Structure 1
Amino acid sequence: MKPRITIKEIAKQADVSIGTVDRVLHDRGRVSPETKERVLRIAKEGNYSSNVYARNLKLNKTYHLAVILPEKNSYWVKHRQGVEKAVAEYDFLQVDMHAYSLAVESQTEIEGIIQEVVAAKPDGIVLAPIFLNENSPAVERLKKSQIPVILVDSKIPLPNCLSYIGQDAFQSGRMSGGLLHEGYSENYDLYVITFQMADLYNKTIAARIEGLENYFEEVNNSPQVIKINMEQEAMGYSELIERMLTRKKPVRVFVPNSRSYFLATEMNEVKQELKLRMVGYDLIEENKMYLEDGTINYLIHQQPKQQGFKAIQALHQHLLLNMEVEQQQFLPLDIITKENLMYCEH
Structure 2
Amino acid sequence: MTDSKIRIKDIAERAGVSVGTVDRVLHKRPNVSPNAKEKVEKALEEMNYQPNMYASALAYNKTYTFHVIIPQHEQIAYWEEIEEGVKNAQEARRDFHITAEIHHYERFNVNSFKKTTESCLQAKPDGVVIVPADLESTRVFTDQLHAQNIPFVMLDSYMPDLKPLSFFGQDSFASGYFAARMLMLIAAKEKQIVLMKFTKNGYVASKQQDNREVGFRHYMHDHFPDTKIIEFEVPLDGSRSLYNKQMEDLFQAHPDIHHCITLGSKAHIMGDFLLRTNRRDVQIMGYDMVGKNADCLRRGSISFLIAQHAFLQGYSCIDTLFQAIVLKKEVNPINYMPIELLSKENVDFYRRTQL
The TM-score range, normalised by the shorter chain, is 0.7 to 0.9
**Partner residue, 1:19:** none
**Aligned match of 2:105:** 100
Q: Conserved in 2, the CA contact under 8 Å of 1:299 and 1:335?
A: yes
Q: 2:198, 2:111 → 1: CA distance?
A: 21
| CA shift in 2, pair 1:68/1:173, >3 Å | same
Gaps of 5+ in 2: 6-25, 27-50
CA pair 156-287 structure 1, distance change in 2 beyond 3 A = same
Q: Is the 8 Å Cα contact of residues 66 and 99 (structure 2) preserved in structure 1? A: yes
Structure 1 304/92 Cα, relative in aligned 2: closer, same or farther at 3 Å?
same
- 210, 216, 224: which one aligns with 1:206: 210
**Cα shift at 1:289:** 1.1
Q: Give the RMSD, CA atoms, in angstroms.
A: 2.6
Shift of 1:225: 1.8
* Aligned equivalent of 2:147, options 144, 147, 151: 144
Residue pair 2:191, 2:228 contacting (<8 A) in 1 also: no
CA distance in structure 2 between the aligned counterparts of 1:241 and 1:78, rounded to whole angstroms: 33
How many residue pairs match? The answer is 297
Query: Match of 1:114, as an amino acid?
Result: T
The aligned runs of 1:1-346 (5 Å cut-off) are: 51-72=52-73, 73=75, 74-90=77-93, 91-102=96-107, 104=108, 106-129=109-132, 131-134=133-136, 136=138, 137-184=140-187, 186-197=189-200, 199-200=203-204, 202-231=206-235, 236-270=243-277, 272=279, 275-346=281-352
> TM-score, structure 1 length as denominator?
0.78
Q: What do the CA deviations read for 1:287-340 (whole angstroms, capped 9, x no partner)?
A: 111111111111111011000111111111101221111111111101111110
Q: Which amino acid in the other structure matches residue 304 of structure 1?
A: A
Q: Which moved more, 1:306-315 or 1:223-232?
A: 223-232
Change (3 A) 1:323 1:140: closer
Deviations 1:200-248 (A, max 9, x none): 362111001111100001114531222222239x974333333324433
Offset at residue 162 of structure 1 (A): 0.8
Contact 1:175 1:212 in 2 (8 A): yes
Distance 1:185 1:109, change over 3 A: closer
> Matched residues in 2 for 1:97 and 1:220: separation?
43
Q: Which amino acid aligns with 1:64?
A: T
Which amino acid letter does the alignment assign opposite residue 298 of structure 1? F
Q: Structure 1's 272 and 184: CA in aligned 2 closer, same or farther, altered over 3 A?
A: same
Aligned partner of 1:80: which letter? E
Structure-2 separation of matches of 1:249 and 1:75: 32
Q: Which residue of 2 aligns with 1:45?
A: none
Deviates more, 1:161-170 or 1:144-153: 144-153
- Partners of 2:68 and 2:62 lie apart in 1 by 19
SS at match of 1:165: strand
Distance 1:101 1:269, change over 3 A: same
Distance 1:277 1:186, change over 3 A: same
Aligned to 1:44: none
Which secondary structure state, in structure 2, belongs to the residue aligned with residue 182 of structure 1? helix
Q: Report the Cα distance in structure 2 between the residues aligned to 1:185 and 1:271, rounded to whole angstroms.
A: 23
Deviations 1:72-126 (A, max 9, x none): 5222111111111111112231222112234x3x321111111111122111101
Q: Secondary structure at the match of 2:153?
A: strand
2:302 is matched by which residue type in structure 1? I
Following superposition, the deviation at residue 174 of structure 1 comes to 0.7
